[in-house]
Amino acid sequence: MASRFPYEDPSQAAEFALGYFCRLRADSDILATWLGLRALIQVNITRPEVSVYVNTRDGERMEITPGIAPEPPALTLTLSADTFHCIYAGEMNVFLAFATRKIKTKGNVALIMKTTWTLPQAIRIYRQYGVELGLRSFEVEWTAKASAPMRSGDLPEPAAATHVERLLGRRLRTRPEVCIERARYYTESMRQSEGEPQVIRQAKALAHVLENLSVHIEPDEATGAVGIVGAITSKVLGAGVYPEGIGSRVLGELETIGFREPNPFTVTNEQIRELRDEIMPYWRGRTLEDYARAQWSPEVKEAVDQVAPFIATEIAGIGHMLLNYAEILGKGLEWYVREAERLAREVGKQGSGKSGNLESGVAEDFYQAVAIACRGVIRFAERYAQEAERLASLGQDDILPHRRDELVRIVEVCRRVPRHPARTFQEALQAIQFVLVAAQIEDYESAFSIGRLDQLLWPTYQADFEAGRLTEAEALELLQCFYIKISHSIPLFDADVSLAFAGMTAFANAVVGGTDADGSDATNPVSYLAVEAMRRVNTQQPNFGVRIHPGTPPEFLDAITRAMADGLQNIQFFNDEAIVPALVNRGVPLEEARNYAIIGCVEPAVPGVSFTSSDAALFNLGLCLELALNNGRGRLFTDQLGLPTGDPRSYTDIEQIIDAYRQQVAYLVGLMVQALDVLAEVHAEFKPKPFISATTGDCLERGLDLTWGGARYDFTGVQGIGSATVGDSLAALDALVFRESRVTMDELVAALDADFEGCEPLRQMLVNRAPKYGNDTPAADRFTRLAAEIYCQEVAKHRNPRGGRYQPGLYSVTTHVALGLVVGATPDGRRAGTPLSQGVSPAQGRDRQGPTAALRSTARLNHRLVSNGSACNQKLNPTFLQSDKGPETLASLLTGYFQLGGMQLQWNLVDREMLLAAQEHPEDHRDLIVRVSGYSAHFTDLERVVQDELISRMEHVL
């Protein structure tokens, strides 16, 4: 239960709120931030009603006055007292509060966005304030919350649970904790290595962390037949701190991270103290963000701070790698050590090493660094072997005989891999786990992907099977253990990143199926086992996908859709016929393109030889349209964000608007590229990644770290968000303004300015009387295609500092919510601040003709340009899936979509929450079709009682 505002009486409430604002003013950081706004801001609290206005217009004083401002304020915020309390108590994500309209705004939203970075201080002050006023609940509640278990924490462990079930149960029941060991040892090493070449410092820092990070083997990892070990932190379920990157942003929030919603973490006062007093001081002025800020131009800095035109993610770290696991399993890390040493001697003899393209890296240093880093990873595995040995040597009373056998086996496996080639299935999985952990510790925990799991594991599976060493059941169990193990990598994000990338997953992708280099089907028995293992555990990790091509065995697809009917939820589909041509279009040779795997969410890349920097930024297409329709100014962010493309009221046909949109896209893509180029250079200079580079072709051959341009295929991937919002807006303008003359540009612009207040009939007309993308209407679909195409073309014009190309993606994770916050009303009838359309899916609730029509529309996009991947979500009713025909029909739907040229597809099961949301916001859910034995109806057209019954029924289905 969220806690409540402490007063019900309006006068007491007003006194409390005013007192709090005065406290805030007393904090020098907060005062400086507010004075910088130079604005009049009205805050209206409801239930009980309190009005306060804050005036900093002269830039010198911050006046706090009760009541309604005598002059029109630059911004008005309206929120309930409980919302106010939850935000300042650190229980509610402020961005989420904006997104869900718990805070209503009128005026320049940019003003309040600029103050959110002081929120951690404000929260601390609120807490002290409450305690000082003697509000007992403040102290009691926080103490209780910080130590409370997670939602599922109270579940008893089932008595007859199998070894896998116990592992999975522990993962789900355990409350995540912050682990500061990585930060501590990384910083320790960096302090000691000042003055040495950066690439060597990074290698030493990695090796130092791996030498000191606490190793631990969980009980059940060794009580069954098999076990995979190797944890990324010292905790059972922990997140590391990366002080050089995202860690600097998290620091300010540590005190409230224990009870924030969503995604709370346990953190102790001692950890906070060590981070704040011992670790972070070293990083002042030395974080990736600090280095980048020093180089960004004022325009770029402004754009980054607004978080409106784009979200630049690589301030936090890069991640999104697909290491050469096939080669690691085949050769072992010791081979890399020897090779690096040999190459170091070779270039050393030549007198001077080859220099990197950014002139910061020297080949000899790089090779030395590779050897240090790889030895560090080998050492990490050895420490696990020693820990297993220690456990195995415990007395008879402490350990069961079969557990001892298993520990002995773990000792052998950890001594073998990743140092030497993997000979068995267990060794292969164990090697991948160690390498995955090491790579994440080196860079940060985001989207280190596995690649083609079935292809990687097939040689050892076959060898084991033929030698009679492994049964199918044992392989299945090992795979489940592996999935659970990698699900223990969870990233520690700050509040606004948590909103943009919701769900606490590290996005480690794995795919099965697809073709070999010749185009022949590559499905093998491990492909089936990998699907079945996922059905059984349904872990968030790996982010699991299947490659589909015309030669995919029907029985494989059948097995997958049946598994879906039987509970498999974590699954998405990729179309080889769309992805391979998109990669070839970017210059990847056909044979290598056919070997693609997926990074992170949906980003295709050739495994082992690519550095695609695939989630470098998320770009706001909705804002570009807004700027085109407002002469370069934002409607919520009233600053001049874009180019002055002219008074929108002067437009007389749709081509002029499209042209203005194109100019805004080109301009802001240019700014984004500047921001990212600097970040790429910062990474190359300050954060080379020798271990990741060693295991990414062709870095060793070239003597270049991958941040210096060592990878064979080099890209920077940036995603366009809101294609359908833009497309539907253009379609509405075209139909209603220019063709049918049902509304004038003047009226439309005035309505957008007013966020449709007082213009509901016009808004309804925009929603209902103009064609919409997603209904198989070419006249509407062409605009969404165009909106995306313009973005893709602009992006592909640019090259990154490593010489690689920028390439576009069309997927949003949950950033369509965050980026929607800053976009005012749009001509598709969307209200200000609400989410943009998601990925390449139709805008929320706008597709009314069922799944085949929506897929035909999506297939009309120019997927060949979208070489960084696209995401299409479709809702699926679980009852349909469970019907006799469900699995087969789903397979047909998928196959048909892919024959039409679709790129990616995943289904979201309709659940009770979705139906409840549809009752509350019917307009956003008009696509929702309920089917009862062939009889189907749009949910939002049903009467309340029938809806209620369907909702209660849903409780039983799921």
Which of the stretches 599-607, 684-692, 812-820, 928-936 binds other proteins when contact is defined by CB under 8 A?
A: 928-936
277 lies in the binding site for other proteins (CB under 8 A): no
| Site stretch for other proteins (CB under 8 A), options 390-398, 559-567, 680-688, 949-957 | 949-957
Among 295, 849, 862, 882, binds other proteins (CB under 8 A): 849
Annotate each residue in 773-812 with x if it binds other proteins (CB under 8 A) or - if it does not, as one string. ---x------------------------------------
CB 837, min distance to other proteins, A: 20
Of the candidate residues 399, 565, 853, 914, the single one contacting other proteins (CB under 8 A)? 853
Q: Which residue is catalytic, options 289, 339, 603, 681?
A: 603
Q: Name the minimum Å distance from CB 778 to other proteins.
A: 11
* Contact yes or no for 471/616 (Cβ under 8 A): no
If the CB atoms of residues 652 and 936 are measured against other proteins, the closer one turns out to be 936
Residue 254 to residues 213, 264, 512, 566, Cα–Cα distance (Å) = 21, 10, 39, 41
Considering just the CA atoms, what is the radius of gyration of the chain in Å? 28
CB nearer other proteins, residue 156 or residue 934: 934
What is residue 606's three-state secondary structure? coil
The nearest distance, CB 829 to other proteins, in angstroms, is: 10
User: Alpha-carbon distance 733 to 747, whole Å?
Assistant: 12
Q: Which of 896, 909, 914, 916 binds other proteins (CB under 8 A)?
A: 896
Q: Report, in Å, the least distance between residue 745 CB and other proteins.
A: 18
Instruction: Select from 48, 348, 525, 850 the one that contacts other proteins (CB under 8 A).
Output: 850
CA 789 to chain centre: 24
Based on the shown chain and the rule CB under 8 A, indicate whether residue 518 belongs to the binding site for other proteins: no
* Residue 134, Ramachandran bin (φ over 0: left; ψ between -120 and 50: alpha; else beta): left
Interface region with other proteins, contact rule CB under 8 A, candidates 4-12, 395-403, 667-675, 845-853: 845-853
Q: Contact at 8 Å (CB) between 443 and 319? A: yes
Work out whether 558 is an interface residue with other proteins (CB under 8 A).
no
- DSSP annotation of 810 reads B
Q: Does 935 bind other proteins (CB under 8 A)?
A: yes
In angstroms, the CA 371 to CA 341 distance is 7
Q: Is 603 assigned a catalytic role?
A: yes
Shortest Cβ distance from residue 895 to other proteins (Å)? 4
Instruction: Using the minimum distance from each CB to other proteins, give the nearer residue, 311 or 855.
Output: 855
Q: Is 601 a catalytic residue?
A: yes
Whether 423 contacts 463, CB under 8 Å: yes
Helix (H, G, I), strand (E, B) or coil at 325: helix
With binding defined as CB under 8 A, does residue 900 bind other proteins? yes
Among 137, 852, 862, 882, contact with other proteins (rule: CB under 8 A): 852
Neighbours of 342 (CB within 10 A): 11
Q: Given the rule CB under 8 A, which of 328-336, 405-413, 566-574, 846-854 is the region that contacts other proteins?
A: 846-854
d(CA 924, CA 84): 27
Q: Judge whether 491 and 525 are in contact, CB under 8 Å.
A: no
Q: Rounded to an integer, what distance in angstroms lies between the CA atom of residue 180 and that of residue 186? A: 10
d(CA 745, CA 631): 14
Q: How far is the CB of 905 from other proteins (least distance, A)?
A: 13
Nearer to other proteins, 172 or 957 (CB): 957
Partnered with residue 806 across adjacent β-strands are 716
- Find the binder of other proteins among 257, 347, 605, 762 (CB under 8 A): 762
Nearest to 855 by CA among 843, 873, 869, 881: 873
Minimum CB–partner distance for residue 770 and other proteins (Å): 11
Q: How far is the CB of 773 from other proteins (least distance, A)?
A: 16
The DSSP output letter for 523 is -
Should residue 901 be labelled a site residue for other proteins when binding is judged by CB under 8 A? no
* Residues that contact other proteins, how many (by CB under 8 A): 47
Would you say 152 or 764 has its CB closer to other proteins? 764
Choose among 511, 438, 581: nearest CA to 906: 511
List the x/- string, 876-895, binding to other proteins by CB under 8 A: ----x--xxx--xx-xxx-x
Which listed range, 308-316, 405-413, 535-543, 768-776, lies at the site for other proteins (CB under 8 A)?
Answer: 768-776
Diameter of the chain measured on Cα atoms: 88
Between CA 895 and CA 889 the distance in angstroms is: 10
The Cα 40–Cα 262 span in angstroms is 32
The angle that helices 760-768 and 745-753 make with each other, rounded to 10 degrees, is: 110
Q: Which of 851, 869, 878, 887 binds other proteins (CB under 8 A)?
A: 851
**Binding residue for other proteins, selected from 2, 768, 913, 921, defined by CB under 8 A:** 768
- Per-residue CA distances from 791 to 148, 255, 723, 749 (Å): 47, 41, 9, 24
Per-residue binding string, other proteins, 721-760, x by CB under 8 A, is ---------------------------------------x
- Is 912 among the residues that bind other proteins (CB under 8 A)? no
Which amino acid is residue 425, in one-letter code?
F
Q: Does 765 bind other proteins (CB under 8 A)?
A: yes
Question: Helix crossing, 401-416 with 363-392: angle to 10°?
Answer: 170
Tell me whether strands 238-240 and 177-179 are parallel, antiparallel or unpaired. parallel
Q: Are 380 and 438 in contact (CB under 8 A)?
A: yes
Q: How far apart are CA 352 and CA 617, in angstroms?
A: 37
Q: Which residue has the tokens 């580079």?
A: 693
Question: Among 86, 179, 601, 759, which one carries the catalytic annotation?
Answer: 601
Under the rule (CB under 8 A), what is the footprint of other proteins?
A: 760-765, 767-769, 776, 849-853, 856, 880, 883-885, 888-889, 891-893, 895-896, 899-900, 922, 930-937, 940-943, 946, 949, 952-953, 956
> Active-site residues: which are they?
601, 603
